[in-house]
């Protein structure tokens, strides 16, 4: 694999992993928010 190939794999895997994680956290937050009473949803 060329240098550009290693760079592409590194950036590609990182982007997919971080975007996937962010998506999962946001989706879970949305799902849980619907289950928790409104007055207990705020965290601070």
Partner 1 sequence: MTTSAQVETPRRRRGRNERLATTSSRFTRALGVIALLMGASALLLALVISPPEVTQGDAVRLFYLHVPLAVAGGYLGVGLLAVGSIGYLWKRTTFWDLLAASAAELALIFTALTLLTGSLWGRPVWGTYWEWDPRLTLTAVLFVLLIGYRAMRTASVDPQLRARRSAVIGLLAAADVPLIRMSVDWWRGLHQTATLNPLNPSLDGMMLFTFFWSMVSFAVLFLWLLVHRFRVAWLEEQLADRALDEAIAQRRAEAPQTP
In the bound complex, what is the minimum distance in angstroms from residue 44's beta carbon to partner 1?
A: 9
Percent helix / strand / coil, the chain, rounded to 5: 80, 0, 20
End-to-end Cα separation, the chain, in angstroms: 49
What is the Cα 20 distance to its own chain's centre? 4
Least separation in angstroms between residue 18's CB and partner 1 is: 7
Residues that bind partner 1 (CB under 8 A): 1, 3-4, 6-7, 9-11, 13-14, 17-18, 21-22, 25-26, 28-30, 32-38, 40-43
Q: How far is the CB of 37 from partner 1 (least distance, A)?
A: 8
């Amino acid at each position: 694999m060329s240098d550009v190939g290693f760079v592409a794999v590194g950036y590609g895997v990182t982007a997919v992993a971080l975007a996937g994680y962010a998506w999962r956290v946001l989706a879970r937050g949305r799902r849980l928010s619907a289950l928790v009473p409104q007055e207990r949803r705020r965290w601070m």
